[in-house]
Structure 1
Amino acid sequence: MSGTLETPEAGAVPDAAAANWVDLRAPAAWRPYLRLSRLDRPIGTWLLLLPCWWGLGLALVATGARPGWHDLWIALACAVGAVLMRGAGCTWNDIADRRIDAQVARTRARPLPSGQVTVRKALLWLAAQAGISFLILLTLPAVAIGLGILSLLPVALYPFAKRVTWWPQAVLGIAFNWGALLAYAAHAGRVDAPAILLWLAGLAWTLFYDTIYAHQDVEDDAIIGVKSTARLFGDATPRWLRRFLVATVGLMGLAAALAGIRGSGLALVLALAGPWAMGWHMAWQLRRFDPEDGRGLLRLFRSNRDAGLLAVLAFALAALA
């Protein structure tokens, strides 16, 4: 086999990474479906997964338990579930938004508006992903199963939020950070105050990063009447981003403090290092925010994987302390 990479085909989505494996390596027949699931753009999977790992880490800190095989399975189940449910959610989003996507330069090459996949086949793909996710969910405790089923409501509503509210990013935040509640409950068997505060911190974080992301589409969104926080805030966006940063750090810090207060001093310090490190990264993003730089906006949005991983690392160390 030659060591050279093939050139991505014309159906590649513009905001996907140039060297992503879907465009370069996946079988041609599967590419439209993998693009529906955003597997050519894994950042969304990370943003869905990281709150799950935060929740598991803080549950270990709050209960004072040592990580065991069950916790390893929770972490793995969250990872596989994030891939599948992000794929299912994006497939549903594209089905609902196919006519809007056809009018936006950045999204008109997606599989549905470009005609690569029919709505019927997209629905079957959605059902397959959701079905496998549900089987994985059934391996977790009952309270986590209930939370997983409940999460379908904001996921179902999100594609329509941009039609009726200037805050669709808030609906996305409710859905994307639900894993903090689910993973915490999967370990602890209940939902405590730290889990709720962590979920709210994640919601503020989503408002931060998705407002940055939405600034790529403000002109197209204004033409077709789609609402977003980017359009709502306009020139005041840096001030709002600063507020979301403070809310993220404050709420996550309170969650970490409540979880770690009964443990060792070292565990508490390590848990509190998570929101501090994440806040530092978000401040770095804020300093580089330029609404006129589309490529820069996408880079900042993607960098939130690293911001979230800083909190994961801190909570993992706290759980082991």
Structure 2
Amino acid sequence: CDAGWNAGGGRKSVLVRCEEASWRHRCAVAGSTESDGVMKSLPEGYRCGAPNEVLQARAYWVSDGWVVRCAKEEWCPEGKAESCAAGRIGIGCGRCDDGRRAVLDGTCAPCEDAGWPGVFAVVAVLLVAAGLVMRFNGHRTWTLLKSTPSGAKSVSIVALCFHFCSVLMGLLAMEIELPKFSGDMGSALRSVQSGRFLQVSCFRGSSLPSVNFLAGVCWPLALVVAICLLSLATHRHLGPDVAVVRFSSGARVVSGFFLYMSQGVVSAFVCDQQPKGLATLRSHPSVECWSTGHAADVIIALVVGC
């Protein structure tokens, strides 16, 4: 028969076109594929096991021909496709399984719940602070809010929507299969899939909210309360006329920066890492935490809006 054809079986003599064998089925123990008598190396990230068996190489994560180099070698052991170390899941084994969180050495530790007492304490403090503001300085607070330009209010609303959308995307990424894009789009989607915006692995794996989740969601409300409290303080010590001028000239920026730094320090502490500078508080790549660096653009827009 000509090349590429095979004599079919049966009573009649027929020619059947040969189906080209995939390199997966030609895998040899030597770690190469044979094509037309020439041995070719396997693609990066693949290894051969037994004959006709293809494995992912150590430090690589493979799935249907899609190869991802893992952030840490021990996350992706050699084995079958999409294999991850114990306790790790996701693309490139980049996040911990539900109910576990990543620590600095790359291992996954059980999540520690904040507990409902902590949740109630946070809510109670915010409610008491808001009540004090409205009791002693409610009129001036509403005056300041009404005097804010409409354009600045719009910027603040957009920034808040962007913040909560990023949190929502982090949650949804745990439930859906994202498309396997390449390039910048693929990197962005894999970042979301890894849970970089929020420590959703602890949030989903427990019946109680995690401390990091509360810190990431409650800081916009805490920022508003802090601004109102600062307005109350300036009103008491400087008088009603001077307070508005001083408050508008710089106190909002100071309060906003203080709240941003506080939220970053709390997130860094919860994620078992240390802050990396005044303006570079970012989550460690191996930690599934809501990104404090991602909040920089949002907080700047909020401060400018206020």
Q: TM-score, normalised by structure 2?
A: 0.23
Which is richer in strand?
2
Which is richer in helix?
1
Q: TM-score, normalised by structure 1?
A: 0.22
